[in-house]
Chain A
Amino acid sequence: MNAIIALSALAILTMFFGVIQKKSVLLPLILSGLIIVFFLNVIEWGTFKHYYNEMFIADNFNIAFTAALILTTFLVFIFSALYYRTVKRPLEDIYALMLFSLIGGITMASFGNITMLFIGIETLSISFYILAGSKKFDVASNEAALKYFLTGTFATGFLLFGMALIYGVSGSFNLQAINSYIIANKESIPTLFYAGMILVFVGMAFKIAAVPFHFWAPDVYTGSPTLITAFMSTIGKVASIAAFYRLISITFLNVHDFSVDILMLFAIATIIVGNLSAMTQDNMKRMLAYSGISNSGYLLFAIIAMGPKSAGTLLYFSISYAIATITAFAVIMLVREERGTFSLQDYKGLAKQNPVEAFAMAVAMMSLAGIPPLAGFMAKYNIFSVAMNGGYVWLVIVGVIGSMISVFYYFKPIIYMYFHRADAHKKIETTKAYKIHILLVSILLIILGFLPGLVIGLL
């Protein structure tokens, strides 16, 4: 709770700093603010408080995911210096919106009441709509924003209708109360309730970009400014999956038999469509968008299996996915700025000219592909073992096949960077700070691969 209050204060402060036009102060302020918020969040570890009639529950799950979200945002802000280095104005609006969407994300990881879930989702989404269109004079950005907005509000409609139905049958928005209702009337739950559940699931599936509700994701991720894409595809996904897990683990666990089919359908379709579509992409940003979709499929494994290690594995997978994605996007931003496109061709011979950046990209790609000993491998391994322990053998088989396909496209940039000769491209000049940051992030990815037990054991 303290974290949300502090973050709100930080976001409002950020907006005020825009008034005095101090660009140089803004980013350090936000970064140090995020660090403070991170500690404010972490010190509540193990206290299990709840606020406002259980609207907001601060348990370990919430704190862990909040920490992950703040960490991710922190990384995005670090690389924002590079992305916006040519922009003169202070960008307080974009930064503030990013912080607001972080607040939405945190709310999604800590709600105790469906009302809060809705508010969290909308805070996150509305900020995202604006952020997606923040490159005002870029047609792609405009298109992305409008597409996101149209599909997003449409999905919100279904989510709301589902919530209304659930409320109508169970008589409460409180997660525990709904759970008690399910336990009490296990045999006589009306169809209306199940219809409501399906609609809520659809809304959540839309947010995590699960097939067949993923259509917005590739276009929006491709069209949005790259930094925002990095932000949306990590924060949005992590927060939504946390919310989905929370919703099912607290409320719908006793009707899990009913939801499992739908979730399995989502997971399998997501992995197949996501990976297959990514295969022949030439646009790196779009490829990563599809990679994000396929990763939602793996994340759903933990929710389907609902084993004792599900939450921890979800956390570990989310963190490793987020860090790898941000690393990749940080390199993509750089290459795009210097060479003009997102095409794979621009990565030819990058390893010779910019070894540090190429190394970071390679680490990120290999982590996403699940090559040991990187974090991505341990994440996939653990999530598969969670599914395996739950008895979902077929799911794991699909997951492994999807992983195999994914190696094909994740290795393409590596091949271009390391085994192709550069044609006519010059070395990309970068600042030392950027080099250090990107190296640190990729090393973090390697280190993380050696301590999966530590992270998974948290929850």
Chain B
Amino acid sequence: MIEYIWLVPLLPLIGFLLIAFNFKRFQGSVSGIIASSAIFVSFIISLIVFIEIYSSKQTATVQLFHWIKFNKIDISFSFLIDQLSTLMLMIITGVGFLIHVYSIGYMKGDSGFNRFFSYMNLFVFFMLLLVLGSNYLIMFIGWEGVGLCSYLLIGFWFKKHENNNAAKKAFIMNRIGDLGFLLGIFMLYYYFGTLNFNGIFFQAHMFTIGNPTITIITLLLFVGAIGKSAQIPLFTWLPDAMAGPTPVSALIHAATMVTAGIYMIARSNVLFVLSPITLLIIAIVGITTALLAGGIAIFQTDIKKVLAYSTVSQLGFMFLALGVGAFTGAMFHLTTHAFFKALLFLAAGSVIHALNGEQDIRKMGGLKNKIPITFFTFLIGTIAISGIPPFSGFFSKDMILIGAFEANSIFWIIAVIVSLMTTFYMFRLLYIVFWKRSNKEDLHAHESPKNMTIPLMILAVLSVLAGAFGIPLVFGGNDIIGNFLSPIFTESTNIIKINAHEISHNTELLLMFIPVIFVFVVVYLAYYVYVKQKKLPEADNQKRPFFSNIFFKKLYFDEIYNALFVKPALWLSDFLHNIIELKVIDRMVNQAGNLVVWTGKTIRYIQTGNVGFYLFAMVISIILILIFKLFI
């Protein structure tokens, strides 16, 4: 089946083309069904390939065609099928399929229904290209393609101006990161002479640990990851990206695209372990982002914004894992996060759907009994993300926490704090949205249709059970995911482990135990504040305490960027347009054009129409040529 891997990205592409060219023709849910079935077939093929890879432990490169062949450059269009890419395939097609099905219900009646599904399929195509590519260039195509689709889908409801602004913001911020990524690719080509993953990683052994070249390359690649995966300082686009439809937030801005940065670094782990400095920077950026985004999430009042900051925070967590060398942990958390964050977003979408588009949590409450399925699935998601055993989030977070502790106990402490913050804001959200408050009249709400609730239930089951793949050895599990991914990471982990100290089983158990206790304390704290005291977040214009105000205002990142970059850039472009462009360049260009036209008009009159003159001109020319050539 591996040789048919090209079908996996091709099917969504066909779906996209099919819908795009029958834009006006498809009525009702036709395009949704086409799109979903394309992804479903892709999913089935992916599943078969996954099983093949899982059982055979083989990897394969499927070459489709020679793409660029020029001089010494030989870049082929080929796919790399190994444990890492098949894992991503499963997430993208699996979660993607569920979200597509959900969208059929969610987007029903929207005037852009067909457009939505064509974009979604295009997105899946590019995402698959990104993870399947066997060299950095193919990956970059996917990387740019998903950025484009993200832009298109954030600005999906383009009639509202702020949606367009959010889309542009996402695109521009991503572009900054992409530039870093591109520079990194150029340097890779310069130093390695190839862009193939296998070729580069094979040659990477020739570089010593701490080589400055590798450090620069990895830092540039990391800049790309920062942009795509919304880390400090380029994270502000992700919360704004919630302007898109909720399924988009679930698929692109939670489960798949934003994890592309993690995937890229995990894919390039061989390079990154050669540069301890980069790894340290990654860990610090990751943990800082996780902490700050967690803090901001606590004070948000928009249901999707809370989840968005939560996503940023969880991505920071994954970067911490990458930074401390816990690559398996990062990938495992990526997987579980894809399940429960997609679940949370879809459930939030179901809430919004039930309340006819209301997103402000202060206007919600008491939905527990009215939309029970949504409530239960949301609850499961919350528990999973909070890291309460035996739900999946517990195991994946635990893997990261252990890794962090092995590297540096300070990381561990901050990571635990972040984890507790996660628990707090998630339960805050849960209580405010679903628990009843007496001072509010009953909201009118209706449960979502089946095609929305069934994907929720499936994701809920996955959120609960996914942890089973990563039950650590202490619990008598056999760390399935660790073994599965070991061919990719073993070498790198060995290099990292040289410096790390081994921890005993007892310490490990202790390290698991402490956070869990605190988690329960925090759950109760949230319960006390938001259910017992029925505290509600203040209205937007109300004065808040200093500290809370800073976090409510998202640490003023947007304002700082505005003052530092946007305003000067606008001023500069204003200057360039009004002075340089209009007054200098335009005038020069116009004058040049006028000059040419004038010369043309004038030169025409040499052709006088008089034969005598023609003959005379010929003779003069001949004489001049003779004189110049023969006598001078």
Contact = CB atoms under 8 A, between A and B. Distances in A.
Are A and B in contact, CB atoms below 8 Å, in the complex?
Answer: yes
B622 A151 contact: no
B597 A198 contact: no
Interface in A121-171: 146-147, 150-151, 154-155, 158
Interface in B566-596: 596
A191 B622 CA distance: 15
Nearest to B609: A219
A279 B597 contact: yes
A195 B629 CA distance: 9
Given A154-B615, A213-B621, A405-B596, A277 B629 contact: no
B604 interface: yes
Contacts of A278: 600
Nearest to A215: B614
Interface string A250-292: 0000000010011001000000010111111100000000000
Give the one of A195, A262, A279 with max B CB within 10 A: A279
Contact of A202 (B596, B604, B625): B625
Interface of B: 596-597, 599-601, 603-604, 606-607, 609, 611, 613-615, 617-618, 621-622, 625-626, 629-630
A215 B607 contact: yes
A275 B597 CA distance: 11
Given A258-B629, A279-B597, A155 B607 contact: no
Contacts of B607: 215, 218-219, 277
Given A155-B618, A405-B596, A261 B611 contact: no
A410 to B, nearest CB: 14
A212 interface: yes
A408 B595 CA distance: 14
Given A154-B615, A202-B622, 4 more contacts: A206-B618, A276-B600, A279-B600, A280-B601
Contacts of A154: 615, 618
A290 B603 CA distance: 12
B611 A150 contact: yes
Given A216-B614, A277-B603, A158 B622 contact: yes
Contacts of B617: 212, 215
A155 B614 CA distance: 11
A403 to B, nearest CB: 13
B614 A276 contact: no
Contact of A198 (B596, B599, B600, B626): B626
Contact of A147 (B601, B603, B614, B630): B614
A199 interface: yes
Nearest to B593: A408
A181 interface: no
Contact of A151 (B600, B611, B621): B611
Given A195-B630, A213-B621, A277-B603, A151 B596 contact: no
**Smallest CB-CB A-B distances: 4 pairs:** A279-B600, A215-B614, A212-B621, A276-B600
A194 interface: yes
A280 B594 CA distance: 12
Given A147-B614, A151-B614, A276 B622 contact: no
A191 B615 contact: no
Given A195-B626, A198-B625, A280 B611 contact: no
Nearest to A151: B614
A212 B617 CA distance: 8
Given A158-B622, A212-B621, A151 B615 contact: yes
Counting chain B CB atoms within 10 Å of each CB, which of A155, A258, A276, A278 scores highest? A276
10 contacts: A150-B611, A150-B615, A154-B618, A198-B630, A199-B622, A202-B622, A206-B618, A212-B618, A277-B603, A280-B600
Contacts of A202: 618, 621-622, 625
Nearest to A274: B603
Given A147-B614, A216-B614, A261 B629 contact: yes
Contacts of A195: 626, 630
B287 to A, nearest CB: 53
A59 B186 CA distance: 50
A87 B614 CA distance: 35
B627 to A, nearest CB: 10
Contacts of B604: 277, 280-281
A400 to B, nearest CB: 14
A198 B618 contact: no
A454 B614 CA distance: 41
A273 to B, nearest CB: 6
Given A158-B622, A280-B597, A198 B629 contact: yes
B625 to A, nearest CB: 6
A273 B603 contact: yes
Nearest to A401: B596
Nearest to B616: A215
Contacts of B629: 194, 198, 258, 261-262
B625 A262 contact: yes
A219 B611 CA distance: 10
A5 to B, nearest CB: 36
Contacts of A191: 630
Contact of B600 (A261, A262, A277): A277
A206 B614 CA distance: 12
Contacts of B606: 273, 277
Nearest to A404: B596
Contact of B599 (A146, A212, A276): A276
Interface string A396-418: 00000000010010000000000
Contacts of A146: 611
B596 A279 contact: yes
B618 A147 contact: no
